[in-house]
C-alpha cells in the first residue's frame, strides 16, 4: 500500500475538519478527493503532506507522516491550486527547489522539456501564464522523482486548453506508475484521471466508488454528442429509441447518455443501421446545467 490512513481526525478548536477518515491507496492508483468546500479535501491533503497535526494513523510509502513529516514529503510531489514562487526565473526556480530537495540538477532540462516550458527557462516566473506556472509547479514536484503526486485542485485556475493539457500530462505520469491523489470539483477531471473517488462530506468519508458511479449518483452523466447530416436525423433518433438509449436532440447533433465503458455502443448501433456519423465528442455533466467537453 502506498498510503494508509486510519481514523484520520483533525480538529480546529471545537470544529472537526476530519472525522475518523480511513482509506488506503495502492501503488499506481489515481484517486480523487471529491466534496464541497469545507468537506475536508484540503485538510486530508495537508495531513498527507505532514504540514499539520492530526489524530489517527497515516503512513505514506511506509513512512509515519506524523513522526517523519519531512521524510514523507520526500516521497510526495505537491502541486497546489496556484503555486506561489519567489521572484526568480524558471531555471533559477528549478535550481532552487532542486537544492532544497537535495537532488541533482541533472533532471532540470529534461523536466522543463517534458512540461514544454524549456523555451521559457530564462523568463521570470511572474511573466508565465497560469498554465505554464502549473506546469512549472509539476516540474518542481517531479524533481526528486517521487512515487506519489498530490495535487490540490490543480486545474481550477486554468483555461480549458490548459486544463486539458495538464490533465493529459498527469494521465501520462499515472500510466508511467506514479500514484496520484488529487482534490477536484470538476467531474470531467475526475472522470478523465481517477480510478477511484473518495467522497467527503462534513469531514467524513461518505462514499468510495468508481468515478462513473459518482456521476450517476450526482445525476451527472457522460454524454456522447453525435453529429449526423439532416437526411439521417429521423432515422438516428429511431435507432437510438429502439436500442433503449437515453438521448436529447440538439440542433444538428444528438446527445446520447453513456454509462461505464459504453462510449462505443451508440456508435456501433448507428453503424449497424448504416447511418454515417460525421463527428462526435464526449461531454461530462448535466446538460441542463452546462457542460464540459473532453
Partner 1 sequence: MALSEKELRDALRNRWFIVFTIAFAGLALALSALMQPGGSQFQVASYSRTTASLINLVLLFVPLIGLTLGAANLAGDRETGALAYLLAQPVTRVEVLLGKYLGMASALLATLTLGFGLAGLALALQGGINDAGGYLLTVVLAYLLALAMLSFGFLMSVLAQKTAAALGGALFLWLLLVFLGDLGIMGTAVITQMPIGSVFLIAAINPLQMFKIASILTIQANLEVLGPAGLYASNQFGNALLPLLLAGLLLWIVVPLLSALVLFARQEKLTLKGSLK
Which residues contact partner 1 (rule: CB under 8 A)? 42, 45-46, 49, 51-53, 69-71, 73-74, 78, 80-88, 96-97, 99-102, 144, 152
Using CA atoms, how far apart are residues 154 and 131, in angstroms rounded to an integer?
10
Min CB(101)–partner 1 separation in Å? 6
In 61-104, beta strands by DSSP E: 63-64, 76-79
| Dihedral angle computed from the Cα positions of residues 270, 272, 274 and 278, in that order, rounded to the nearest 10 degrees | 40
106 or 274: whose CB is closer to partner 1? 106
What is the pairing mode between strands 247-250 and 253-258?
A: antiparallel
Q: By C-beta, is 81 or 243 nearer to partner 1?
A: 81
Q: How many Å from the N-terminal Cα to the C-terminal Cα in the chain? A: 31
> Could you count the other beta carbons within 10 Å of the beta carbon of residue 182?
25
CB of 75 to partner 1, least distance (A): 9
Q: Would you say 31 or 75 has its CB closer to partner 1?
A: 75
Q: Is 75 exposed, middle or buried (0-12, 13-18, 19+ CB in 10 A)?
A: buried
258 vs 264: CA distance, rounded Å: 9
**Minimum distance from CB of 99 to partner 1 (Å)?**
3
Nearer to partner 1, 50 or 266 (CB): 50
User: Minimum distance from CB of 184 to partner 1 (Å)?
Assistant: 14
> Is the Cβ of residue 174 or residue 183 nearer to partner 1 in the bound state?
183
Contact indicator for 134, 158 with CB cutoff of 8 Å? yes
Give 73 or 222: the residue with its C-beta nearer to partner 1.
Answer: 73
Q: Minimum Å distance from CB 243 to partner 1?
A: 46
Residue whose CB is less far from partner 1, 42 or 253:
42
- Supply the minimum distance, in Å, between the C-beta of residue 82 and partner 1: 4
In the bound complex, what is the minimum distance in angstroms from residue 24's beta carbon to partner 1? Answer: 23
| Spatial distance between the Cα atoms of 206 and 216, rounded to a whole number of angstroms | 16
Start-end of H helices in 51-204: 69-74, 90-100, 108-114, 130-142, 160-175, 187-193
DSSP state of 51: -
Query: C-alpha grid cell for residue 129?
Result: 501564464
Amino acid at each position: 500500500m502506498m498510503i494508509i490512513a486510519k481514523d484520520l481526525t483533525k480538529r480546529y478548536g471545537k470544529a472537526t475538519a476530519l472525522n475518523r477518515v480511513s482509506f488506503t491507496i495502492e501503488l499506481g492508483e489515481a484517486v480523487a478527493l471529491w466534496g464541497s468546500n469545507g468537506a475536508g479535501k484540503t485538510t486530508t491533503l495537508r495531513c498527507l503532506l505532514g504540514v499539520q497535526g492530526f489524530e489517527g494513523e497515516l503512513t505514506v510509502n511506509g513512512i509515519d507522516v506524523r513522526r517523519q513529516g519531512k521524510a514523507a514529503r520526500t516521497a510526495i510531489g505537491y502541486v497546489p491550486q496556484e503555486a506561489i514562487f519567489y521572484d526568480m526565473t524558471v531555471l533559477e526556480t528549478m535550481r532552487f527547489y532542486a537544492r532544497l530537495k537535495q537532488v541533482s540538477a541533472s533532471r532540470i532540462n529534461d523536466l522543463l522539456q517534458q512540461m514544454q516550458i524549456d523555451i521559457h527557462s530564462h523568463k521570470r516566473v511572474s511573466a508565465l501564464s497560469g498554465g505554464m506556472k502549473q506546469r512549472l509547479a509539476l516540474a518542481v514536484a517531479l524533481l526528486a522523482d517521487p512515487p506519489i503526486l498530490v495535487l490540490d485542485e490543480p486545474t481550477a485556475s486554468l483555461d480549458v486548453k490548459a486544463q486539458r493539457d495538464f490533465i493529459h500530462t498527469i494521465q501520462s505520469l499515472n500510466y508511467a506508475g506514479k500514484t496520484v491523489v488529487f482534490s477536484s470539483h470538476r467531474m470531467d477531471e475526475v472522470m478523465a484521471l481517477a480510478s477511484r473517488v473518495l467522497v467527503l462530506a462534513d469531514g467524513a468519508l461518505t462514499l468510495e466508488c468508481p468515478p462513473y458511479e459518482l456521476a450517476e449518483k450526482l445525476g451527472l452523466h457522460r454524454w456522447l454528442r453525435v453529429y449526423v447530416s439532416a437526411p439521417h436525423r429521423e432515422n438516428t433518433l429511431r435507432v437510438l429509441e429502439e436500442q433503449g438509449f437515453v438521448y436529447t436532440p440538439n440542433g444538428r447533433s444528438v446527445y446520447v447518455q453513456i454509462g461505464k465503458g459504453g462510449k462505443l455502443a451508440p456508435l456501433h448501433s448507428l453503424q449497424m443501421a448504416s447511418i454515417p456519423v460525421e463527428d462526435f465528442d464526449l461531454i461530462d455533466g448535466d446538460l441542463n446545467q452546462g457542460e464540459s467537453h473532453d
